[in-house]
Structure 1
Amino acid sequence: MNTNNKIKVPRKKGKSLFNRFVAWLHLWPSIVAGIILVVVSLSGTIIVYCDEIMDWMAGEAKYVNVPQNLQRVSSEVLKANFSKSNPGYDISEFVFFKDPKRSIRIRAFNPKGPKLAMVYADPYTGKILKKDESLQFFFVMAHFHASFLAGKTGGWIVALATIVFVISTITGLILWWPKKWNKTTRQASFTIKWKARFKRFNYDLHNVYGFYSLIVCFILGTTGLIIFFEPLMETTVKLTNGTTEHMMDTLPKMDSTKIAKDIIPFAYHILDKSEEKEVSIWNFERKKLGAYIFTSGKVGLKSIEHASINVYDSYTGKEINIDKKYLQHEKTENIVWQLHMGQWWGQLGKLSTFLAGIIATSLPITGFLIWWGRRKKKSPQKKKEIKNNHKHRAEAHHEQIT
């Protein structure tokens, strides 16, 4: 027997334990949460341009004829006209515009519905110009995005899926990162082979587009978690030198023995002295506070670009100075919502968020197809490997006994 010529069977170098764990963490939680993530991402993507769509839906009702004297009606006349033309509805928000040709935008809701609408009114005559109910669609989409319209239970399901999504962005970057940087790996990591076979094309869609959208997807996921988990929001506020107490808790309360001043002169006074073109006030706050809180900036459904707050005593008309820590609280919450809604960099921010939303919707699908394709060919491949190993061992054994 010849013992000097042993044949060693070559062994393929396996992945490290860390890489195997990262691959597992990227794959299996995403497989489980895949359908949820598709629905959440798609509904969130639909919401991104809600402000622009509703602005377009307003049509001619956005503009009015401007009289020479520029005399505006009072908010009491405006509310009376609103109630008459929209029975059962209440006002949640007024938005006033710097442009004298712009109508007043009223966000309305029906407590028994619930139904939402945008109502447009002439600031000079008080006439109700249009009631647009497209807001209801975006309201449903927003709650579907946040909780599948299933209350707290749905909210927790979405939150857990979002945690998986955030983890998958981190693990995806680790898996995407090439072991060596050269021309071939750069081309494979940053470009898509559009003419490749479906499996390679699908892999490129997942790998390349996943990388390009990674930062925005990570921001969308983390801000979503901050919004859902109140302790995270409080921590974020504290880290930005804000207080967890709300500004409204420090303001004067409503006094039914006093007569509040009209809000409309305040709104247009703020617009006249400010560079911002829009100012908003929430109507429900007026019903419990003895102060008016105006926020100027570009007013969206959930956040305001370049937000600036002015507060007035509703009975004396004097401006109330607010401590910076309370203003920082409001600013931080608004920034979190801006980042989540894509309102953080004008139209470029919205476009980035919209494209990232489309990619995020596709990632669970392309990822599943990659896994399914490998799963189908795994069994024959293993059989071939076992057969080859048996062959090598047989040859080695034959060599040894001869």
Structure 2
Amino acid sequence: MTFKKFAFQLHKILGLTTGIVVFIVAITGCCWSFREEIESTYDQYKKVEPQNQAILTPTQAKEIAQNVLPDHHVHGTLFKKADDAVEVIFYDPEPEFYSSVFLNPYSGEVIQIDDHLTGFFAFILKGHMRLWLPKEIGEQVVGASILIFIFIIISGFIIWIPKKRKNLKQRLKFDWKKSTRWKRKNFDLHTVVGFYICSLALILAFTGSMMSYNWLMYGVYKSIGGDKEAAFIIPENTSEPVTDSTAKPMDRLIVKLMEESPEATAYELHYPSSENESIYVEVSNSESLFYDADYRFFDQNTLEEIETPSIYGKYKNGKIADKILRMNYDIHIGAIGGLPGKIIAFLVSLLTATLPVTGVLLWYGRTYKKKEKMPMLQQS
């Protein structure tokens, strides 16, 4: 068996094995591309009338929201601009619970409660990440299938390369006539479309695999010169615990950060889970982007800033390898390129979803064509 024939067999077997998973992941990824833009058309409740008075402190926001959802854990509180509602985020891993309570930052009035595990985009995300299966099963199936899809793309490109240069032209464009049969059209759809999107589909698959597998993320990070911890680490306080339970230095922190970083778009404060854990705040510096956020950690007793050994610290302090790794999610969803990047991610995901369909049709046409000829040969 020649190398090209081996690549063909590998491409066929892997494609038939993972085709349905790749189709679902691609089509749901396509639907997810413009989630923020679509949701912004019906989330006017997140806006309030600015007032010339102090906003809720993190402690007050937590207490008000906790009275609304007393049986669940507060993950953090999101503060934005003067005309934005305060969002208190609840999250429990088992059983999974993910909701937000939106508050008027001046009066403390409860504006709305959002359940992030229901609705169209929650349905789409569950399909994209775990095929609507139980988390522990679905995530493994998706992770393995997308990792295999990388080999499908590579083997597909090897098969695509024509033996003779004169045949290159017909691999680069559709040359259909009235007499062109559907099998030929299907072959062109699979090969021509596959060629033009293969590099971008490879990027989407690879960045998705990095989110699925820590060993892959760690390997990539170290191979590009990373020397920090490629994980999120919350450092401990540098001071001794304070016995005065009425002291809430944390309540001064958001105002302090707003004065230091007035251009930031959001400040997400996370409450310490123990008396020894520091407070961490995610300061977002760009709308709809995650990679350039500043992750800052403060002693919960003195508000002294503490450095983390992780890549998730202040963005400006990160090395090239740190910044590349932090860009992974924004690259995956196309947000790294703004609206044009999202459009490209949308189109690549949509066209990727066609490849398993045209691939199965190719296999079906070749397999059953051979089977139909067998009876005719026996009769003669």
Same fold (TM > 0.5): yes
Distance 1:110 1:32, change over 3 A: closer
For structure 1, the residue ranges without an aligned partner over 5 or more in a row are 1-15, 388-402
My pick for the range that moved more, 145-154 or 282-291, is: 282-291
My pick for the range that moved more, 29-38 or 308-317, is: 308-317
Distance in 2, Cα, partners of 1:50 & 1:135: 14
Distance 1:132 1:245, change over 3 A: closer
Distance in 1, Cα, partners of 2:325 & 2:149: 22
- Are 1:316 and 2:302 matched, yes or no? yes
- Please state how far the C-alpha of 1:268 moved relative to its aligned partner: 6.5
For structure 2, the residue ranges without an aligned partner over 5 or more in a row are none
Distance in 2, Cα, partners of 1:51 & 1:135: 16
Give the match for residue 241 of structure 2.
255
Distance 1:286 1:194, change over 3 A: farther
Deviation digits for residues 177-224 of structure 1 (CA, Å, limit 9, x no counterpart): 334455x74354134749754323322322222222212221222222
Give the match for residue 88 of structure 1.
71
- Are 1:105 and 2:93 matched, yes or no? no
- Are 1:171 and 2:163 matched, yes or no? no
Distance 1:203 1:245, change over 3 A: closer
- Report the 3-state secondary structure (helix = DSSP H, G, I; strand = E; otherwise coil) of the residue aligned with 1:242: coil
Give the match for residue 361 of structure 1.
353
- Report the 3-state secondary structure (helix = DSSP H, G, I; strand = E; otherwise coil) of the residue aligned with 1:306: coil
Give the match for residue 285 of structure 2.
297
Distance in 2, Cα, partners of 1:286 & 1:72: 26
Distance in 1, Cα, partners of 2:275 & 2:349: 38
Give the match for residue 212 of structure 2.
228
Q: Tell me which amino acid in the other structure corresponds to 2:48.
A: V
Preserved contact between residue 342 and residue 350 of structure 1 (Cα < 8 Å): yes
Give the match for residue 277 of structure 1.
265
Distance in 2, Cα, partners of 1:44 & 1:120: 28
Deviation digits for residues 292-331 of structure 1 (CA, Å, limit 9, x no counterpart): 333323476xx71422233322221233344686645875
Distance in 2, Cα, partners of 1:111 & 1:20: 47
- Please state how far the C-alpha of 1:47 moved relative to its aligned partner: 3.0
Q: Tell me which amino acid in the other structure corresponds to 1:123.
A: P
Distance in 2, Cα, partners of 1:221 & 1:150: 22
- Report the 3-state secondary structure (helix = DSSP H, G, I; strand = E; otherwise coil) of the residue aligned with 1:201: helix
Distance 1:21 1:382, change over 3 A: farther
Distance in 2, Cα, partners of 1:191 & 1:279: 51
Distance in 1, Cα, partners of 2:117 & 2:41: 12
- Are 1:336 and 2:322 matched, yes or no? no
Q: Tell me which amino acid in the other structure corresponds to 2:278.
A: G
Distance 1:305 1:104, change over 3 A: farther
Deviation digits for residues 362-392 of structure 1 (CA, Å, limit 9, x no counterpart): 21111000111122223567899x99xxxxx
- Are 1:52 and 2:37 matched, yes or no? yes
Distance 1:290 1:202, change over 3 A: same
- Report the 3-state secondary structure (helix = DSSP H, G, I; strand = E; otherwise coil) of the residue aligned with 2:26: helix
Distance 1:343 1:164, change over 3 A: same
Q: Who wins on radius of gyration, i.e. which is larger?
A: 1
Q: Tell me which amino acid in the other structure corresponds to 1:107.
A: I
Question: Structure 1 vs Structure 2: percent identity of aligned residues?
Answer: 23
- Report the 3-state secondary structure (helix = DSSP H, G, I; strand = E; otherwise coil) of the residue aligned with 2:83: coil
Distance 1:135 1:263, change over 3 A: farther
Distance in 1, Cα, partners of 2:34 & 2:276: 33
- Are 1:38 and 2:23 matched, yes or no? yes
Matching residue within 20, 28, 34 for 2:13: 28
- Report the 3-state secondary structure (helix = DSSP H, G, I; strand = E; otherwise coil) of the residue aligned with 1:293: strand
- Please state how far the C-alpha of 1:250 moved relative to its aligned partner: 3.5
Distance in 2, Cα, partners of 1:113 & 1:381: 56
My pick for the range that moved more, 130-139 or 161-170, is: 130-139
Q: Tell me which amino acid in the other structure corresponds to 2:130.
A: S
How large is the RMSD of aligned CA atoms in angstroms?
3.5
Matching residue within 95, 101, 121 for 1:119: 101
Distance in 2, Cα, partners of 1:193 & 1:286: 67
Preserved contact between residue 311 and residue 321 of structure 1 (Cα < 8 Å): yes
Distance 1:378 1:54, change over 3 A: same
Preserved contact between residue 107 and residue 117 of structure 1 (Cα < 8 Å): yes
Preserved contact between residue 253 and residue 303 of structure 2 (Cα < 8 Å): no
My pick for the range that moved more, 215-224 or 329-338, is: 329-338
Preserved contact between residue 27 and residue 350 of structure 2 (Cα < 8 Å): yes
Q: Tell me which amino acid in the other structure corresponds to 1:280.
A: E
- Please state how far the C-alpha of 1:17 moved relative to its aligned partner: 0.8
TM-score w.r.t. structure 1 length? 0.77
Q: Tell me which amino acid in the other structure corresponds to 1:30.
A: G
Matching residue within 208, 216, 219 for 2:192: 208
Preserved contact between residue 117 and residue 134 of structure 1 (Cα < 8 Å): yes
Deviation digits for residues 157-196 of structure 1 (CA, Å, limit 9, x no counterpart): 22332222111111112222334455x7435413474975
- Report the 3-state secondary structure (helix = DSSP H, G, I; strand = E; otherwise coil) of the residue aligned with 2:249: coil
Matching residue within 130, 139, 143 for 1:155: 139
Preserved contact between residue 292 and residue 313 of structure 1 (Cα < 8 Å): no
Distance in 2, Cα, partners of 1:287 & 1:120: 27
